[in-house]
């Protein structure tokens, strides 16, 4: 499209021709191409201004940055290109993306989910519930990009919430596919980095809060305030009042609010009580305006009932009625990697759940152990790209709650895996107990947990493996727990068959 730099309110100055044809947006000079606009983004370790000449060599026709001297100098040398100065590079990227894609967020209902735990699950529940009730809904988050009908192949710029330009490109694509709504995970870092700047969310959802991402935010107060900001951009909200931040939001939020709780005396708008976990899911009593409804759901555990309540609240905000919603709850789709039960291998229950905080791990252990089992084997991990101070707490949480514990590492990043494992081990009262073992890769950890299991056991594979990969020294190395499990039992079956043949 033709871009008129002199008409964009967020641009403070421009050089050379203000009108240019632009075909796409880039913030990585290596990905700039003919007729692209290149944003000179400043990161913790990089500065896009240092790479603007590479972007120009690759075909960028418009360069936008914050460093006036650098931009003016480049404009004098490359007079066939257009240059602009902005005061905030991230805010400008978001505003430009909205303009370039012609406000796609206004053409689709936008639902943002924030919270320490449960974002991925809530996004999946909302997508499933709304779509089954007739509101075609896509989703954006840790598990990938989905339209209401299928997964969309899209190279993600971040693990959870895409950069602003990618985000609006996805909105644009969902509108083209005739989806009516999109639910997205909104991380605290994404809010702080203004990836969702300029979006007026139809609904914001709060799940819960506990200490996380302190390697980025430094303080819990900054982390919480970042999450709070999402609700300043929302027309309606769904809030968990069993949580401290949720209770604060009831005082702060000025729009239409639906609250939810597992405490029947809380006064919440949606209350779940008398939860009963069975093999096929969880049954509970739903209380709304003093009326009780019996719900059979396909989700497991109290914490997932919490998540389901937030989806119900969202459905009500979007015009659906309880008599439409309740029948669908028995067929809600659980997201991949969240209480994902695999039962086809030798009478075991293998549960993949990427619980990666102490609170999430505690909830998972409590709920999984309600299922019939002999031994409970839990694999826990330190995540190399996250806060090291959190790692010992994972050990503290698991100790005494599983018969066997395997400690491994997820996404070592630039760290020595042994240092990550050692950090987790400091949380055990008795790290040398025979029930505790270690491994230096997630694959080895999965194999070790499986090898310790027998028929009738539960094996919990936890922590933050995301995007089908392990992040090692900046590289995304393909990884799949499911493929490792499948291969393990295939080899085990061959070994056992070979042993039987030898006996004959």
CA-to-CA distance for 416 and 420, rounded, in angstroms? 7
390's CB contacts (< 8 A; 6+ apart) are: 211, 212, 214, 357, 358
pLDDT at 214 over 60: no
pLDDT value of residue 463: 85
> What are the tens digits of pLDDT across the range 41-66?
988 788 999 999 999 999 999 999 99
| Number of Cα atoms under 13 Å in the Cβ half of residue 207 | 28
pLDDT at 27 over 80: yes
Determine whether 333 is exposed, middle or buried from the number of CB atoms within 10 Å of its CB (0-12, 13-18, 19+): middle
404-410 and 376-383 beta bridge pairing: parallel
pLDDT at 379 over 50: yes
244's CB contacts (< 8 A; 6+ apart) are: 209
Q: What is the mean pLDDT of residues 384-397?
A: 86
If you search the block for the tokens 């990043």, which residue do you land on?
Answer: 413
pLDDT at 396 over 50: yes
Please give the CATH number for the structural domain made up of 340-492: 3.90.190.20
Please state, as a whole number, how many other Cβ atoms lie within 10 Å of the Cβ of residue 200: 10
> What are the tens digits of pLDDT across the range 288-343?
999 999 999 999 888 899 999 999 999 999 999 999 999 999 999 888 878 888 88
pLDDT value of residue 504: 44
pLDDT at 113 over 90: yes
Percent of the chain exceeding pLDDT 90 equals 71
pLDDT value of residue 153: 86
pLDDT at 459 over 70: yes
Parse the chain into domains and list their residue ranges. 2-99, 103-331, 340-492
Confidence of residue 465 (pLDDT cuts 50, 70, 90): low
Tell me the average pLDDT of the chain.
91
CA distances from 269 to 266, 276, 419 (A): 9, 21, 47
Q: Which of 122-136, 187-201, 209-223, 255-269 has the lowest mean pLDDT?
A: 209-223
Please give the CATH number for the structural domain made up of 2-99: 3.40.1390.10
| Number of Cα atoms under 13 Å in the Cβ half of residue 283 | 5
> What are the tens digits of pLDDT across the range 234-253?
999 999 999 999 999 999 99
pLDDT at 156 over 80: no
Comparing 58 with 477, the larger pLDDT belongs to 58
Please give the CATH number for the structural domain made up of 103-331: 3.40.1190.10
CA-to-CA distance for 170 and 158, rounded, in angstroms? 14
Confidence of residue 121 (pLDDT cuts 50, 70, 90): very high
pLDDT value of residue 217: 63
* Helix runs in 329-472, H state only: 358-368, 391-398, 417-425, 442-451
Comparing 474 with 240, the larger pLDDT belongs to 240
pLDDT at 497 over 90: no
> What are the tens digits of pLDDT across the range 75-93?
999 999 999 999 999 999 9
């Amino acid at each position: 499209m033709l871009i008129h730099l002199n008409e964009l309110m967020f641009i403070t100055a421009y050089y050379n021709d203000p009108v240019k044809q632009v075909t796409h947006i880039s913030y990585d000079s290596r990905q700039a191409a003919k007729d692209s606009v290149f944003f000179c983004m400043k990161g913790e370790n990089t500065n896009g201004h240092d790479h603007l000449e590479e972007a120009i060599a690759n075909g960028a026709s418009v360069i936008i940055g914050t460093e006036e001297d650098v931009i003016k100098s480049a404009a004098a040398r490359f007079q066939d290109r257009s240059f602009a100065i902005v005061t905030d590079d991230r805010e400008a990227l978001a505003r430009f993306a909205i303009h370039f894609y012609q406000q796609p967020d206004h053409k689709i209902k936008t639902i943002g989910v924030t919270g320490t735990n449960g974002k991925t699950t809530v996004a999946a529940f909302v997508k499933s519930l709304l779509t089954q009730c007739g509101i075609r809904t896509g989703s954006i988050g840790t598990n990938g990009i989905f339209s209401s009908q299928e997964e969309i192949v899209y190279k993600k710029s971040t693990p959870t919430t895409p950069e602003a330009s990618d985000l609006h490109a996805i909105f644009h694509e969902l509108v083209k596919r005739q989806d009516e709504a999109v639910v997205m995970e909104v991380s605290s870092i994404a809010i702080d980095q203004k990836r969702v700047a300029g979006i007026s969310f139809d609904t914001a959802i709060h799940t819960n809060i506990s200490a996380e991402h302190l390697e980025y935010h430094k303080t819990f107060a900054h982390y919480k305030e970042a999450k709070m900001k999402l609700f300043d951009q929302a027309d309606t909200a769904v809030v968990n009042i069993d949580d401290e931040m949720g209770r604060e939001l009831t005082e702060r939020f000025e729009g239409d609010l639906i609250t939810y709780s597992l405490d029947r005396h809380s006064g919440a708008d949606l209350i779940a009580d008398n939860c009963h976990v069975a093999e096929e899911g969880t049954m509970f009593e739903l209380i709304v305006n003093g009326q009780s409804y019996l719900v059979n759901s396909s989700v497991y555990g109290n914490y997932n009932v919490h998540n389901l309540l937030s989806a119900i609240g969202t459905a009500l905000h979007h015009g659906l009625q309880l008599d439409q919603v309740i029948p669908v709850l028995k067929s809600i789709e659980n997201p991949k990697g969240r209480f994902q039960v695999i039962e086809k291998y030798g009478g075991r229950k293998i549960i993949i759940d990427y619980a990666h905080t102490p609170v999430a791990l505690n909830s998972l252990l409590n709920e999984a152990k309600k299922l019939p089992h002999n031994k409970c084997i839990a694999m826990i991990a330190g995540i190399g790209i996250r806060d090291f101070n959190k790692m010992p707490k994972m050990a503290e949480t698991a100790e005494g709650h599983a018969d066997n514990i395997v400690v491994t590492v997820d996404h070592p990043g630039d760290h020595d895996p042994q240092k990550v494992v050692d950090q987790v081990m400091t949380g055990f009262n008795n790290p040398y107990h025979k029930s505790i073992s270690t491994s230096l890769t997630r694959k080895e950890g999965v194999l070790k947990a499986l090898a310790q299991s027998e028929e009738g056991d539960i094996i919990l594979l936890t922590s933050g493996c995301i995007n089908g990969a392990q992040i090692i020294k900046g590289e995304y190395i393909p990884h799949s727990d499911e493929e490792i499990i499948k291969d393990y039992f295939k080899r085990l079956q061959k070994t056992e068959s070979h042993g039987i043949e030898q006996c004959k």
